[in-house]
Amino acid sequence: MSSLDSVIAAETRLSEVDGVQGRLVICGHSLDDLAGRLSYEAVLALLLGDLVSDSEVSIRAELAQARLRAFEEVSRLDADLVSLSVTEALRALMARLPDGEDKSAALLQIAAPAVFVPAIVRAKAGQKPIPPHAGRAHAEDMVAMLGGAHPGAEQVRALDTYLVTVSDHGLNASTFTARVVASTRAGYASAVLAALGALKGPLHGGAPGPVLDMLDAVGTPDNANPWLAEALARGERLMGFGHRIYRVRDPRADALKGALQRLGAAGGMDPTRLALAEAVEREALALLRQKKPDRPLETNVEFFTALLLEALGFPRDAFTGVFAAGRVGGWIAHAQEQIETGRLIRPQSRYVGPKAA
């Protein structure tokens, strides 16, 4: 049991992941009823309950104010930080935010990745940061801070769908990390910083960039089968496939595929890229079924995340940071829920080392 499989480590009202039916429920709502239908702010109101105003309009205004506060930190983005990867630079900026267990600390954490990631991406490209705008919704402002003054409605809707889709997902590795740290009463900033570290790994939130590396290496739909077969023969894992909980297709993959289709060529989705991705998905699933007939390995959220964020103009190095901009809502909600239990998380280990003389 070294990876805590099947251990129930928390009771939560926030989300339920049904790995057999392939269903995700967030605060009593199926993902299908949320993604593309409710704004990120509305989902935050569900997740955070009493911590924020329960009206979407109020939380939108409060989050906008928190984005303005977060932007004050962007001036600290010096050459040393810009030379780091986007995730590492994000981690460094997040580390400067004040700790606390109050609403203002929570909202600052939720706002900050959406401000920092576009600023870091622009700085790495030698461009000045674009400040947030208090009149905009969260996803709209994030698209504007990346690319300019007038974000297209399709792009805004696609990013909003993405942020909602990844907002919470049971006791995944980063969320568990956030709960452990929150249980020590260290504060929301410490909980989020630790969670970001857990998210960074390729077995969790670091996979979507490598999905695009894989697509680039495959090159054309005809090459999908031989390339993937050779990668599997070398013992490599195919990025964007497999999940610890899901034994069927990850419902978030379909939510994001739908967002991509709505985005369409007009919104920046290159149809050739989509055709290549569909060929890779089809061949990968067929090969994985042959190779692991007893272990269902299906498409996970990261596969279509990669395509969606690429179409929205985020460089692949920034994908983990954009993931954090959505998941931070879940991290804070879980941290809050854990604090309310008043209980320190402190599991035990079984000693298997040498006996003392």
Residues lying near ligand ACO in the complex (CB under 6 A) = 203-205, 207, 237-244, 292, 295, 297, 300-302
Which residue lies nearer to ligand ACO by CB, 162 or 241? 241
Instruction: Say which of 41, 281, 302, 310 is annotated catalytic.
Output: 302
Which residue lies nearer to ligand ACO by CB, 187 or 210? 210
Q: Would residue 298 show up in a list of annotated catalytic residues for this protein?
A: no
Pinpoint the alpha helices (H) of the chain.
31-34, 40-48, 56-71, 79-82, 86-94, 103-124, 138-147, 153-165, 173-183, 188-199, 208-218, 224-233, 251-263, 271-291, 301-311, 319-341
Give min distance, CB of 204 to ligand ACO, in A. 4
CA distance 86 to 18: 32
Which residue lies nearer to ligand ACO by CB, 151 or 330? 330
CA distances from 45 to 220, 224, 264, 307 (A): 43, 43, 30, 28
Give min distance, CB of 331 to ligand ACO, in A. 13
Q: Which two tokens stand for residue 183?
A: 């249980």
CA distances from 83 to 87, 123, 125, 131 (A): 11, 10, 11, 21
CA-closest candidate to residue 94, choices 188, 185, 168, 178: 188
Q: Would residue 243 show up in a list of annotated catalytic residues for this protein?
A: yes
Instruction: Say which of 41, 243, 283, 337 is annotated catalytic.
Output: 243
Whether 228 contacts 285, CB under 8 Å: no
Report the DSSP beta bridge partners of residue 29: 26
Q: Measure CA of the first residue to CA of the last residue in the chain; give whole Å.
A: 28
**Given its phi and psi angles, is residue 345 left (phi above 0), alpha (psi -120 to 50 degrees) or beta?**
beta
Burial (Cβ within 10 Å: 0-12, 13-18, ≥19) of residue 128: exposed
Please list the active-site residues: 243, 302
